[in-house]
Structure 1
């Protein structure tokens, strides 16, 4: 553990570091494109994917700035096939970036299992809050340009009867979705990180 921490502290823009960031970013893009599915009782356009996982692992291995960079690269490259004019990518970056930044920042300062758990839990809460705000102020205004709000709420209500208005969509759709997504990603990161970090370092 101490040896890995020493390596992390000495990490610079070496060819190995750049290659690791490139590989993690590439895996993130692939995961975003090939493995995406809806969650029951959630609005159908809110789909779960594992693309934030490499950014989380990169953040734990190299620090929060690197994690955010991987999340940004993923969002930027996804713009090449966007169907939301970049709005969806921006909202995803804000939500996933909050999880990556908060969790990896805390782990950087408290490099223990408890620090990792604390970081991931607080990161998940941050992602739920930021994801809810991003949906309310960014995604919903975008979708209302192509579909009436009443139709959006009706579509969401079929998946979750509690969603009857915009606030209901945020409280019973966006926030729970991002919380579930963050917690699942956090569990996987906690289980896999130590093995993957040995490869990265």
Structure 2
């Protein structure tokens, strides 16, 4: 989903979403501090509501961005073989508990008939776009592969995501270091031989 508002780009990795209502978030955080028995007026917490509001405008900045704006530029270079960008680090936020999960994404595709490819950095930015919103890992994986299908029209696409979820590490079952792996595969990469080639490239550290 795109917006008529301009995003504030601090640097290529830091984008502030103007659609986020920072005063409303700050007021809500103030109430949360009161609800847990804290004093939001003490020195250490006085500016916390505003800081959290600004942080949310950054970590949820993907919510109103359109993947088409990232994948709008492609190059017809006649390349017909598998392209894989692996070990793309990212942070996201679990929509169930609003605590982080983090990990690495591996993105691959086989260009379509015209050999249309996109810039390698675009794939990393695509991962960030979908990661920077309230999210679950399964949906994140599917959204990335579907964006590739829609905008690049590849003959095949694969996305593998490996994450540690802090909602499992710091609360609940408290199992730090546990990894969850999800994958989404489309087109020719569903065929055993091409899928095996992609997975060997992804898993070959």
Indicate whether the TM-score tops 0.5. Answer: no
TM-score range (shorter-chain normalised) is 0.3 to 0.5
Query: Which has the larger Rg?
Result: 2
The structure showing larger relative contact order (alpha-carbon pairs under 8 Å, at least 6 residues apart) is: 1
Structure number with the higher strand fraction is 2
- TM-score with structure 2 setting the length: 0.32
